[in-house]
């Protein structure tokens, strides 16, 4: 396909394609650090290379750009007029890949949470959501050990 981007735009796009150190991901990392969570980035050994991984909590987070991953929101629905078929097919492939990664992670016992770019504008809401995720994990663990204790009794 022909290169529709000039060099500067292209490198901005490639940065986003690679998904490293994008603005949205930085926001999530900052919020997690504020909550005292420890995490690792871009675990290539896990399905889909989740953006943020908390192995001890079996929690994998994906921070997805709405356009690239086909979010059901205004930004996600916006397809460039040029090369429309190309972009539509590309986003569809990303969605298939995302679903496969989620299924594989869940089958391996991971909790998977997708944080969409459009959901990160409200930083306070993001912190509340992450806090609930981290607390939910603790609650699930407590419930599991309570079940284990009662079945042992
Ligand atoms: Zn969105």
Q: 48 C-alpha to center of ligand 1: Å?
A: 19
What residue segments make up the domains of the chain, in order of their start? Answer: 23-152
Q: 135 C-alpha to center of ligand 1: Å?
A: 25
Spell out the residues 6+ positions from residue 49 whose beta carbon is closer than 8 angstroms to its own. 42, 43
Helices 23-34/123-152 angle, 10° precision: 50
Q: 52 C-alpha to center of ligand 1: Å?
A: 19
Using CB atoms within 10 Å of the CB of residue 72, give its burial: 0 to 12 exposed, 13 to 18 middle, 19+ buried.
Answer: exposed
Cβ(94)–Cβ(87) below 8 Å: no
Q: 39 C-alpha to center of ligand 1: Å?
A: 24
Instruction: Summarize pLDDT for 40-95 with one digit per residue, the tens.
Output: 999 999 999 999 999 999 999 999 999 999 999 988 888 888 899 999 999 999 99
Q: What is the pTM of this model?
A: 0.74
For all residues of the chain together, what is the average pLDDT?
A: 85
Pick the CATH number of 23-152 from 3.40.50.9100, 3.40.960.10, 3.40.640.10, 1.20.120.530: 3.40.960.10
Q: 110 C-alpha to center of ligand 1: Å?
A: 23
Structure confidence at residue 129 as a pLDDT band (50, 70, 90): very high
Q: 119 C-alpha to center of ligand 1: Å?
A: 7
């Amino acid at each position: 396909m022909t290169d529709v981007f000039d060099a500067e735009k292209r490198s901005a796009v490639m940065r986003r394609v690679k998904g490293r150190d994008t603005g949205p991901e930085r926001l999530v990392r900052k919020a997690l650090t504020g909550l005292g969570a420890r995490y690792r980035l871009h675990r290539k050994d896990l399905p889909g290379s989740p953006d943020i991984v908390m192995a001890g909590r079996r929690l994998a987070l994906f921070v997805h750009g709405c356009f690239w991953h086909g979010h059901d929101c205004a930004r996600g629905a916006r397809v460039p007029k040029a090369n429309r078929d190309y972009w539509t097919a590309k986003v569809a492939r990303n969605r298939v890949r995302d679903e496969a990664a989620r299924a594989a992670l869940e089958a391996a016992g991971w909790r998977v949470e997708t944080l969409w770019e459009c959901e990160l504008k409200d930083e306070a809401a993001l912190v509340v959501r992450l806090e609930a995720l981290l607390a939910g994990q603790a609650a699930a663990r407590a419930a599991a050990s309570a079940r284990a204790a009662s079945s042992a009794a």
